[in-house]
A and B are shown apart, each in its own frame.
Chain A
Amino acid sequence: MGQNLLTQIVFYFFAVLTVGSAAAVVFSRSLIRSAFALLFTFFGVAALYAFLGADFLAATQMVIYVGGILVLLLFGVMLTHKLYELNRKSETYQLMPAVVVVFGIFGVLVTFIMRTHWHSGGQSPAVPTTAAIGELLMREYILPFEAASILLLIALIGAAMIVRRKSE
């Protein structure tokens, strides 16, 4: 019982961390603060993966999102702003229509999540998943796996091409 309570406390801590820092990403005025709040969101999501028994995905989330995408976004912020304007307030527009639309979507989603009676197949025990995922990728999902690798190659070459092109 005590352990169950502890699990719940830790779960709610990470849930609040994730959603709170996501709100900071969206509502923070300074772009740098948004980027660092995004770091905590990615951490929180990785922790939720660990809660769901997805150990391999949690590690992947840390390596790719925190180590790759976030650094890339920070490069984007740094390269498109002069240093003295980094703290300038970033502007927003369409605030009221967006609030209406977003709260509408959120309300509908939560209503249906709460109303639906989910047929749970029962929780699986939290066992290491890396070997099983590897087998799935190499057997059932071999074609999407190869397609994804080609997509990644094309995207990275394309990104390099776009940036290297001379403007004049």
Chain B
Amino acid sequence: MIGLSHYLVISAALFSLGMMGVLTRKNAVSVLMGVELILNSANINLVAFSRFSAGNLSGQVFAIFIIVVAAAEAAVGLAIVLSMYRIIKTINLDQADTLKG
């Protein structure tokens, strides 16, 4: 039978992979993809706990708020990336080392 721990393990795997992406990629858009993976893993956790606590829907409401924050984060993050590309002509994070653009 598929229990709570199955979902938690999937979520842990997604979190670890997202962390891997954030830590190792040089490209700023790839790092944003890693952040999206981490947010999705948190959402799976919340929805799984909501499901296995006898129909308490608060977890799903929190997941909706996380989706809202993820949308805001993606929009602002990409705006910053585009702005950075316009100024220094690259989006490699190790080359963005000046404070004054």
Residues in A40-93 with C-beta less than 8 Å from chain B? 41-42, 45, 48-49, 51-54, 56-57, 60-61, 64-65, 68-69, 72-73, 75-77, 79-80, 90-93
Given A54-B51, A132-B57, A163-B82, do A72 and B75 touch, yes or no (CB 8 Å)? Answer: yes
Interface of chain B, main secondary structure: helix
Chain A residues positioned under 8 Å from B10 (CB to CB):
15, 18-19, 48
Residues in A4-41 with C-beta less than 8 Å from chain B? 4, 7-8, 11, 15, 18-19, 22-23, 25-26, 31, 34-35, 38, 41
Chain B residue with minimal CB distance to A124?
A: B55
How far is B69's CA from A124's CA once the two chains are assembled, in angstroms? 28
How far is B3's CA from A32's CA once the two chains are assembled, in angstroms? 35
- Cβ contact within 8 Å between B17 and A156: no
- Cβ contact within 8 Å between B76 and A26: no
**Could you tell me the distance in whole angstroms from the C-beta of A52 to the nearest C-beta in chain B?**
4
- Cβ contact within 8 Å between B79 and A162: yes
- Cβ contact within 8 Å between B75 and A155: yes
**Contact of B7 (CB < 8 Å), options: A52, A65, A92:** A52
Chain B residues positioned under 8 Å from A60 (CB to CB):
64, 67
Task: Across the A-B interface, give the 3 residue pairs with the lowest CB-CB distance, nearest first.
Answer: A124-B55, A155-B72, A121-B54
